Structure 1
Amino acid sequence: ELEQIGIKWRDSENVEHTSKVHSLLCSSDSIARPLLRNTKQFNGKYGCDFCLHYGGGPYTWETPEPPLRTEKDHFRHAMLATPAQAVMGVKEPSPLMELESFNMITGFVPEYQHSVCLGVTKQITSLWLDSKHHNEDWYLGLEISDIDQGLMSINPPLEVTKISEREKILESF
């Protein structure tokens, strides 16, 4: 209802407004995400949230690359699935599928633990900046001075009492 009808409220001047609520993103860890999506866990068959890798163990590089998941296919898989028989890793429909503005594939974002703590950000940054990739479309090494300038312009909040030398941030990658 919040997405369709909205909620009525009055501002400080007693003017009535109606605000609708749209859920666009969901951040959850890799254990909670399949529970929210009603899908197999990351280490199960077709457990990748973003592609149709067969999975079931370590994710090795496949050639050709497995196709990316689409919301349309996810809905189809959910409708075909039963609690006893998952389809392409989807066990059954999720209540989140009822949210019109929420995309069941792109609405879930990588979370802090895997993006930062387990080194994914460092790995991607290394790929973008390592000169051995200079012929790739995604190579950003030629933009390093702009990146440095952007990092140097960041003013951390006063609560941050210790600041590493920002000039050396990229060296750690």
Structure 2
Amino acid sequence: MPPRLRKDILKTAAIFIVSYFVCLAIWLYVKEIYGTVLLHIISNIVGFLANAAYVDVYREQDMFTVVFGSLKMRERAVPMSINSFTYNVPVALAITAALLPFIKRKMRALFESLSFLVVLHIFYVLMLETLSFTMGNNILHAVNEYFFLFTHKIMTRSEPFIIGLYLFAVRIVKQGHIP
């Protein structure tokens, strides 16, 4: 193995390990704030789309319950855990940090990684909350359930590696760092 390659691999591994613990420490503090703000924003959108009033988000231990109500239908409560869709954030950010030394446009790569995570979380919460409003329509409920399960089972489990693959393929290989 060439010495430069060995040096790059050790540097990347060290950056990944250090940044993982730093991101994890920060994320443990910010996670609840991020999740609550995200739930409030998406719940207002879902309430508008479903013609229901978004009432509030209640917290009980690690679970959050989003409550909707309307004149036409009874009150609906959608329980969810913020951990169920955000547990990979520290790993995704650590992978991004490990690849940053090889990327010319670092701020753009960081922005793209964060944007991907936020959009995926928005999609997850949107699909989960709208599941409770599509119960009467079998076709719409089945489509919504499919997108929710796809997001939950595949995307949330592999989001850090998708970000890493994207940064590697688009930002590193295109820039000519790797032939």
TM over 0.5: no
Give the structure-1-normalised TM-score: 0.21
Name the structure with the higher strand share: 2
Give the structure-2-normalised TM-score: 0.20
Larger RCO (CA within 8 A; separation ≥ 6): 2
Bigger radius of gyration, 1 or 2? Answer: 1
Name the structure with the higher helix share: 2
